[in-house]
Amino acid sequence: MNYNWNWWIFFEPSLDGTNTYLTTLFWGLGWTIATALCAFAIALVLGSVVGVGRTAPSPWMQRSATTFVEIFRNIPLLVQMFLWYFVLPEILPRDAGMWMKQLPNAQFYTAVICLGCYHAARVAEVVRAGLESLSKGQKMAGQALGLTLPQTYAYVLLPMAYRIVVPAITSEFLSCTKNTSVALAIGLMELTGAARAMQENSFQIFEAFTAATTLYLALNLVIVFAMRAVEGLAVVPGYGNRRNAVKGR
């Protein structure tokens, strides 16, 4: 291969003049982590609501929850990103649209909301699978004790379901972290975007992508180890075994 390797490129100043390429990559990593955390917070809250909605006895709740899941699962993430970023400001009233377009860090907020909704649909399926894996007796026992349905969910069903699906939530969070890279299409300078910019400006293709790859692998390892600890804490003693925990995609 006749390719000019130059690993010192990381310490040369990038096009913005002040930072080295290495610094821009770490800024990218920072944006990746921030986007993933914020988006996943939304996904967990919204996903739980929708997941509960899918198992609720009321038909309209079931139907609207199903619609939500189908919409956000069946449109490619990149297209959703464009819808939030380019189309939403045009649909809204003129003033609101202008305000959205001029927001500082608009790409970041858009990416967070878009990824949040996208993963909420997936988290909803995980939560639903967890709720459905519980035996019917749990719900009946809760209601026999005089709890209302919301109370049964809050104090009996959800605490169990969450602990069962922790491994699936882990893999959801991993895929959320990876999916932040799609936001480079709307101009968010996350890790892949930073590596791409470095490659375009310095022509050191493989150094840039090697660095990004290393950082992603490291991030992945950190998440896996952190979540393994959480999984250990969350195991319900005596309830099945860890192998049987619900696997989701």
Contacts of 234 (CB under 8 A, 6+ apart): 162, 163, 166
Asked whether position 77 contacts another protein by CB under 8 A, the answer is yes
Comparing CA positions, the residue from 163, 144, 161 lying closest to residue 153 is 161
Binding pattern to another protein, positions 3-22, x when CB under 8 A?
A: x-------------------
- Taking a C-beta distance cutoff of 8 angstroms, is the pair 165, 131 a contact? no
Question: What are the distances in angstroms from CA 11 to CA 5, 31, 233?
Answer: 14, 21, 42
Report residue 99 as tokens. Answer: 């305000």
Q: Is 118 one of the binding residues for another protein (CB under 8 A)?
A: no
End-to-end CA distance of the chain: 39
Residue 73 binds to another protein (criterion: CB under 8 A): yes
- List the structure tokens of 117: 């909704």
Burial 111-133 (b: 16+ CB within 10 A, else e): bbbbbbbbbbbbbbbbbbbbbee
Nearer Cβ to another protein (45/71): 71
CB 85 within 8 A of CB 110: yes
Each residue 78-107 as x (binds another protein by CB under 8 A) or -, in order, gives: xxx-xx--xx--xx----------------
Nearest approach, Cβ of residue 160 and another protein (Å): 25
Total residues contacting another protein (rule CB under 8 A)? 39
Judged by CB under 8 A, which of 48, 107, 170, 180 binds another protein?
180
Round to whole Å and give the CA distance between 52 and 65: 9
Nearer to another protein, 202 or 213 (CB): 213
Segment contacting another protein by CB under 8 A, of 16-24, 66-74, 105-113, 162-170:
66-74
By the rule CB under 8 A, 2 interacts with another protein: yes
Residue 235: exposed, middle, or buried by beta-carbon count in 10 A (0-12, 13-18, 19+)? middle
> Residues 192, 227, 245, 248: which binds another protein (CB under 8 A)?
192
219 to 238, contacts with another protein by CB under 8 A? 220
Q: Could you tell me the smallest distance in angstroms from the CB atom of residue 192 to another protein?
A: 5
Is the distance from CB of 163 to CB of 236 less than 8 angstroms? yes
Site for another protein (CB under 8 A): which residue of 7, 12, 41, 70?
A: 70
Binding of residue 212 to another protein (CB under 8 A) = yes
Residues of this chain that bind another protein (CB under 8 A):
1-3, 70-71, 73-80, 82-83, 86-87, 90-91, 174, 178-182, 184-185, 192, 195-196, 199, 205-206, 209, 212-213, 216-217, 220
